């Protein structure tokens, strides 16, 4: 399937099977905001649990927190977001369409011959690095770059557009102060660094993990749940001795790649992209990119953030944020290596891997199925329990199995429709096992278990079902 079609197919499938809906759809939706439906919410929760366990339960020196979305406004001064968290943008006066300047120029460059394209991109990058907005405008004008909607070159000046959403705290307008919806979860960890270190008696090196919502007023939000204005991050800040950050940066690069491979995804679907132009806080940084239907794109960032954040919070708050290293007999501000992965992008990656349209036609009849080959441990439902008929005591046996299993993993019960139809519905939401209870069950205590990926069916003892599923979904 062509990649463009694949993304469209995934979007439709998500909507049809209760994974992702456009937000407030009855009002025609809201740009780049999405809601997770009944199956999407389960999948998302399972991804979070898998990440959380790998970080906090399977690692000796990482603990998790859950900080508030609202933070003191000075936080964002100290972190550099008030001054630096912005993209240059430009508006077309005729169509009123707003563009990110780099996206506009890149789209134009793609139509040029390779040499001309490379030269244009190079000029653009130099101008962006120098914050030369007049130069960028000039570059757009001299290349006669047109708006794709109006077809004109009638542009405003280039302006910086801060990506943070502001809102008011307090009920009385005059007394209220402007605060921001956090654009990343990391700062909640930094400001709690000493609280956690002291109350948890943590010794360096140690990490603090967090999963939570982040908000960015993205100028160009596209690619379904790839780029949203409200999204979720799974971040971990690892606090280390100054001077050891390169070692730990390499460690986390490797550890995070191993985590991705543990999802059963082929290594050639991933690549590292090392940053050449580093963010204001970093001394080394890379992205783990995944080959989405739109091509290789950032999924996770690994950043060596130096002592930038803690040092600035210490300066802006006037509170000491140093750690006393008993081995070195020395106070210092720790360095930080961060791993930051988008939960929604992980969700999209898993769906991109899992979604398959299979042609099952034989000489006798045409047939096809859509199946989500999700890792069993992450699937919304682990087991579907299906009595073949709605009579003869079969539902009773099925409900007993349901009662036995539902405390350990999520089960789906259904007694309507032909069994083939029920199997297909379970394939479409990625349920790894279906169990059918039939008349033979009453005679010899066996059931048919059907495996989602191979569609193989085998006869096994009813009493073994729970353990078979547990073996496949536990991690």
Q: Is the bond leading into 43 cis (omega within 30 degrees of zero)?
A: no
Measured from the CB of residue 302, what is the shortest distance to ligand ATP in angstroms? 9
Q: Does 218 bind ligand ATP (CB under 6 A)?
A: yes
Separation CA 25–CA 15 (nearest Å):
11
Cβ-proximal residue to ligand ATP, closest one: 342
Q: Which residue among 78, 90, 299, 337 contacts ligand ATP (CB under 6 A)?
A: 299
Measured from the CB of residue 183, what is the shortest distance to ligand ATP in angstroms? 8
Q: Which residue among 205, 301, 334, 387 contacts ligand ATP (CB under 6 A)?
A: 301
| CB of 217 or CB of 446, closer to ligand ATP | 217
Q: Does 300 bind ligand ATP (CB under 6 A)?
A: yes
Separation CA 159–CA 100 (nearest Å):
10
Phi-psi region of 379 (alpha: psi -120 to 50; beta: other; left: phi over 0): beta
Measured in residues, the chain has a length of 475
Measured from the CB of residue 296, what is the shortest distance to ligand ATP in angstroms? 12
Residues sharing a CB contact under 8 Å with residue 272, sequence separation 6 or more, in sequence order: 253, 257, 286, 287, 288, 289
Q: Does 340 bind ligand ATP (CB under 6 A)?
A: yes
| CB of 275 or CB of 410, closer to ligand ATP | 275
Burial category of 182 from C-beta neighbours within 10 Å (exposed 0-12, middle 13-18, buried 19 and up) = buried
Separation CA 87–CA 264 (nearest Å):
36
Q: Select from 437, 423, 440, 460 the least CA-distant residue to 390.
A: 437
Q: Give me the 168-207 binding string for ligand ATP, x by CB under 6 A, dash otherwise.
A: ----------------x-----------------------
| CB of 42 or CB of 287, closer to ligand ATP | 287
How many residues sit in the footprint of ligand ATP (CB under 6 A)? 16
Only one of the segments 132-140, 143-151, 341-349, 369-377 lies at the binding site for ligand ATP (rule: CB under 6 A); that segment is: 341-349
Distance linking the first and last C-alpha atoms of the chain? 32
Q: Select from 343, 468, 357, 422 the least CA-distant residue to 12.
A: 357
Alpha helices in 110-223, H assignment, sequence order: 114-129, 133-142, 186-191, 193-199
Q: Does 308 bind ligand ATP (CB under 6 A)?
A: no
Only one of the segments 298-306, 329-337, 402-410, 450-458 lies at the binding site for ligand ATP (rule: CB under 6 A); that segment is: 298-306
Q: Give me the 228-247 binding string for ligand ATP, x by CB under 6 A, dash otherwise.
A: x--x-x--------------
Q: Does 227 bind ligand ATP (CB under 6 A)?
A: yes
Kindly provide the residue ranges of all beta strands, DSSP E only, lying in 266-329, ordered along the sequence: 270-274, 284-292, 295-306, 323-325
Measured from the CB of residue 287, what is the shortest distance to ligand ATP in angstroms? 6
Q: Does 81 bind ligand ATP (CB under 6 A)?
A: no
| CB of 342 or CB of 380, closer to ligand ATP | 342
Separation CA 142–CA 124 (nearest Å):
13
Which positions touch ligand ATP (CB under 6 A)?
Answer: 184, 216, 218, 227-228, 231, 233, 298-301, 340-342, 344-345
């Amino acid at each position: 399937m062509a990649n463009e079609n694949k993304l469209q197919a995934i979007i439709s499938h998500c909507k049809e099977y209760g994974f992702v809906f456009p937000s407030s759809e009855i009002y025609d939706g809201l740009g780049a905001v999405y809601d997770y439906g009944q199956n999407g919410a389960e999948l998302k929760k399972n991804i979070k649990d898998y990440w959380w366990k790998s970080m906090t339960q399977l690692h000796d020196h990482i603990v998790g927190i859950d900080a508030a979305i609202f933070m003191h406004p000075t936080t964002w001064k100290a972190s550099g977001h008030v001054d630096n968290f912005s993209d240059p943008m430009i508006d077309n006066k005729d169509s009123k369409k707003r563009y990110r300047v780099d996206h506009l120029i890149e789209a134009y460059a793609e139509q040029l011959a390779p040499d001309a394209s490379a030269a244009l991109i190079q000029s653009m990058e130099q101008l962006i690095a120098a914050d030369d907005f007049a130069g960028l405008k000039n570059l757009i004008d001299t290349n006669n770059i047109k708006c794709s909607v109006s077809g004109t070159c009638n542009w405003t000046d280039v302006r910086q557009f801060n990506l943070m959403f502001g809102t008011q705290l307090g009920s009385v307008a005059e007394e209220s102060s402007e605060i921001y919806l956090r654009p990343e979860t990391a700062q909640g960890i930094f400001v709690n660094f000493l609280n956690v270190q002291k109350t948890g008696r943590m010794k360096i090196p140690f990490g603090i993990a967090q999963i939570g919502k982040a908000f960015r007023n993205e100028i160009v939000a596209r690619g379904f749940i790839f780029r949203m204005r409200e999204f979720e991050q799974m971040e971990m800040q690892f606090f280390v001795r100054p001077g050891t950050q390169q070692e730990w940066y390499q460690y986390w690069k490797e550890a995070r790649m191993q985590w991705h491979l543990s999802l059963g995804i082929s290594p050639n679907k991933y690549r590292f992209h090392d940053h050449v132009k580093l963010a204001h806080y970093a001394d080394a940084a890379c992205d783990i990119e995944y080959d989405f239907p739109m091509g290789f794109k950032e999924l996770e960032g690994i950043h060596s953030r130096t002592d930038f954040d803690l040092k600035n919070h210490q300066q802006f708050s006037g509170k000491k944020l140093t750690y006393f290293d008993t081995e070195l007999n020395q106070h210092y501000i720790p360095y930080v290596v961060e791993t930051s992965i988008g939960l929604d992008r992980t969700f999209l990656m898993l769906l991109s891997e899992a979604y398959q349209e299979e042609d099952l036609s034989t000489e006798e009849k045409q047939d096809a199925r859509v199946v989500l080959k999700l890792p069993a441990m992450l699937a919304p439902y682990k087991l579907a329990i299906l009595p073949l008929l709605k009579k003869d005591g079969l539902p009773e046996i099925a409900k007993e199995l349901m009662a036995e299993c539902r405390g350990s993993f999520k089960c789906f019960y259904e007694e309507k429709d032909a069994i083939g139809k029920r199997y297909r519905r379970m394939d479409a939401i990625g349920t790894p096992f279906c169990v059918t209870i039939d008349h033979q069950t009453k005679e010899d205590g066996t059931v048919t278990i059907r495996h989602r990926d191979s569609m193989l069916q085998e006869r096994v003892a009813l009493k073994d079902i729970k353990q078979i599923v547990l073996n496949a979904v536990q991690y």
